Structure 1
Amino acid sequence: MNMVMLYIVLFLLGNLVGIYLHHLASYYHRNPKEWSAIFKCEECGQRPGWLQFLPISRMVLSASAHSCCSTKNRLKNSLLEALPGLIYVGLYLKFENSLDFLLAIVFSTLLLAGMWIDLEQRLIPNVITIAGIVIGLSSALFLRRPVFLDSVLGILICGGFLYLGGLLGGYLFHKPNAMGGGDIKYAAMIGSFLGWENGFWAVYVATVAATMYGVIVLLKHRGEKGREICFGPFLAGGAVLILLLGNAYVFF
């Protein structure tokens, strides 16, 4: 297949995945078991026209209303839905046609699913984190990507880092739930795929970025209480960054 055509196919596939992940995140809080809900409009609950579920056409239609109601499409959502396509292309450029590429696709898709649901609902469901940990451990056990001990240490170190950070934050700010359990398991999933060293750097990058963002928010909204920072997107960003820019082969 022509390389340009391959990149286009990967981008469109990722864009399609992004569309359905976005709809899944919008509907998850209403009925987590109703997977068919992702085929409905997140605003009115009706089934929109088929063009609303096709890659690229969502961007083209971003200035128009949904076909099922008067709700306007949002360009921001369309751009976010294109993010998986860009990541898939980037992963192929790094790993090419290999088993590492397939594992990276699975890993990045789980990351994006958790990120979107966290943004929409302020939670990361166990069906993503636990399944991700199992897949990561299975990959390490049977495919040695990474080696099994590295994967186990990644779970303990990445998850433990956030757990201890949550305890420290709770002590300093007198808040018992300073770090959510979903974030801890999400970090453990990252460690299961990336191993302890790459996983630690992913969590470290996420923590630094989230801290800087938190300081900016506090300075901008002085005196306001109750503001919470959604940590899942920072963890996903750190993991994808290490996956794309880390070692020549992250899975080793």
Structure 2
Amino acid sequence: MEIVFILFFFLVGTILGSFFNVAGLRVPKKEPFVAGRSYCPKCRQTIFWYDLIPVLSFLYLRGRCRHCKTRISFVYPAVELATGLLFSFSYIKIGLSAELIIALALVSMLIIIFVSDLHYMLIPNRILLFFSPIFIVLRIVQPLHPWWDSVAGGLIAGVLLAVIIIISRGGMGGGDMKLFALLGIVFGTEKVLLAFFLATLIGALFGGILLLFKIVGRKQEVPFGPYIIVGALLAYFYGNEMITWYFNLV
């Protein structure tokens, strides 16, 4: 029975991952993404359902549009596959509980933000505003222990990022600040600070590698959102173990 649930969450995740791709691309452009049909961004031809099967359609079409043969970004199937794997992992790690709903909502939000920030270097307010009441209600239903840690986490994360933005004179964006404030509500104080540390560390390491191999220039802007997402997921799923290990070490 366990494998059935794992496969179920994987399939649901891949299907939703396809929708998250569309949302991440269209929300920043204020285009409709619920009722509007999918289309090729190059030839503008409508994409029919049989070319929208997650991952499989990409493989069948060999990564090209059926109509104009333009190469389809590998980001599309990668996001679908990643969402499926993260949904399955959330179930494996947490099990069937109220916290699982929070985990799935968190993964969903972060995937949409990943797509948006990767393409436009923008974390849309509309996405954060949509998920904010969901997380607030879910944290009321499934509170942290102590419950006030959600409030403290949101305030501390928001203030910390605001100070960094002021000191760095725009080195980080307002979207990063709002995202971390929302993560603070979900994570609590310790885990959101851990998420910030991990995001900064991962960003510095990958940024150094990109500079070393001259993939990006020294003054070239790169999206920080993907590093926040990786740090946030690590802190959410493994934060307790990391914090315990650190305090045992010192």
Which residue of 2 is the match for residue 119 of structure 1? 118
Which residue of 2 is the match for residue 128 of structure 1? 127
Change in 2 beyond 3 A, CA 1:153/1:44: farther
Which residue of 1 is the match for residue 46 of structure 2? 47
Which residue of 2 is the match for residue 66 of structure 1? 65
% identity of equivalent residues: 25
Answer yes or no: is 1:94 the counterpart of 2:87. Answer: no
Answer yes or no: is 1:217 the counterpart of 2:210. Answer: yes
Partner deviation per Cα, 1:138-179 (whole Å, 9 max, x = no partner): 223343246542111111122222222222222xxxxxx221
Following TM superposition, by how much is the alpha carbon of 1:224 offset from its aligned partner in structure 2, in angstroms? 4.1
Which residue of 2 is the match for residue 182 of structure 1? 175
Partner deviation per Cα, 1:80-108 (whole Å, 9 max, x = no partner): 32101111111111111111111110111
TM-score, scaled relative to structure 2: 0.85
Change in 2 beyond 3 A, CA 1:131/1:195: farther
Return the alpha-carbon distance in structure 2 between the equivalents of residues 59 and 99 of structure 1: 34
Mapped contact 2:37–2:47 kept (Cα < 8 A): no
Which residue of 2 is the match for residue 26 of structure 1? 25
Which residue of 2 is the match for residue 169 of structure 1? 168
Mapped contact 1:124–1:183 kept (Cα < 8 A): yes
Which residue of 2 is the match for residue 205 of structure 1? 198
Change in 2 beyond 3 A, CA 1:65/1:163: same
SS of alignment partner, residue 246 of structure 1: helix
Mapped contact 2:54–2:77 kept (Cα < 8 A): no
Which residue of 2 is the match for residue 235 of structure 1? 228
Partner deviation per Cα, 1:122-152 (whole Å, 9 max, x = no partner): 1111122233333222223343246542111
Return the alpha-carbon distance in structure 2 between the equivalents of residues 15 and 202 of structure 1: 25
Mapped contact 2:114–2:226 kept (Cα < 8 A): yes
Change in 2 beyond 3 A, CA 1:228/1:205: same
Following TM superposition, by how much is the alpha carbon of 1:64 offset from its aligned partner in structure 2, in angstroms? 4.7
Change in 2 beyond 3 A, CA 1:38/1:83: farther
Q: How many residues align?
A: 241
Where does the alignment leave 5 or more consecutive residues of structure 2 unmatched? 242-250
Return the alpha-carbon distance in structure 2 between the equivalents of residues 223 and 58 of structure 1: 32
- Between stretches 159-168 and 13-22, larger displacement belongs to 159-168
Which residue of 1 is the match for residue 244 of structure 2? none
Q: Which amino acid aligns with 1:9?
A: F
Following TM superposition, by how much is the alpha carbon of 1:25 offset from its aligned partner in structure 2, in angstroms? 2.2
Q: Which amino acid aligns with 2:225?
A: G
Q: Which amino acid aligns with 1:161?
A: L
Q: Which amino acid aligns with 1:78?
A: P
Where does the alignment leave 5 or more consecutive residues of structure 1 unmatched? 171-176
Following TM superposition, by how much is the alpha carbon of 1:76 offset from its aligned partner in structure 2, in angstroms? 4.5
Mapped contact 1:152–1:195 kept (Cα < 8 A): yes
